[in-house]
Structure formats: C-alpha cells, structure tokens
Amino acid sequence: MADFKKLDATVVGISYDPIDVLKRFQSEEQAPQRFVSDPKGVAADAFGVSASSQGQQYAKRATFIIRDGTVVHTVFDWSPLGNVNKTFDWLSAHPK
C-alpha cells in the first residue's frame, strides 16, 4: 500500500461488515488502514455510496479526501489497488 503517512493522510475504511470480519480481513491482508464497521449503512448513505446486489447491502469503493471538515476530492474505482493509487496520486499532486 502507498505510504500515506508521508503525505500526512490517514486512511479509514468503512464497511457494512461486522467488526470481527474486518479484524480478520485486516489481519489476513496485513492492511495498514483502520476500519470502521457501519452495519446499518449510516455513513454509506450519508456519503451516497450505499448499494445493493442480490439482496446484499454494501458500500461502493470510494475515497473521500477531507480537509478542514470539507470533502475536497472524491475517488471511485472498483479495483482496490486502482482506488489506492488514484488517491495517492491526487494527494501527491495536491499537498496540504
């Protein structure tokens, strides 16, 4: 994963999954980011990324760059790596 700390950025993943699933995922994937469980989709709804498929609710893979409490840029890519790379590239080009 890109080194977001060098860009003074914190990455937080929000998912409908319960905490135990997120902890297992983080451990298995050695994911450095923090995860927040959003089982009722409150955050997903608020950011307009809630979706469903075959009766399952999920949050679209989107990244919101927030500075001083304001969303300044949004990244969307179905690919996890594509999303990370696009986010890192934008932050690199737009330092604080």
| Average pLDDT score over residue span 76-91 | 89
Secondary structure (DSSP) of 70-92: EEEEEEE-SSHHHHHHHHHHHHH
- The residue ranges of every structural domain in the chain are 4-93
Return the pLDDT at 1: 55
Tell which wins on pLDDT, 80 or 61.
61
- CATH number for region 4-93: 3.40.30.10
> What's this model's pTM, rounded to 2 decimal places?
0.80
| Average pLDDT score over residue span 54-76 | 92
Tens digits of residue pLDDT in 3-58: 888 888 888 888 999 999 999 988 988 887 888 999 999 999 999 999 999 999 99
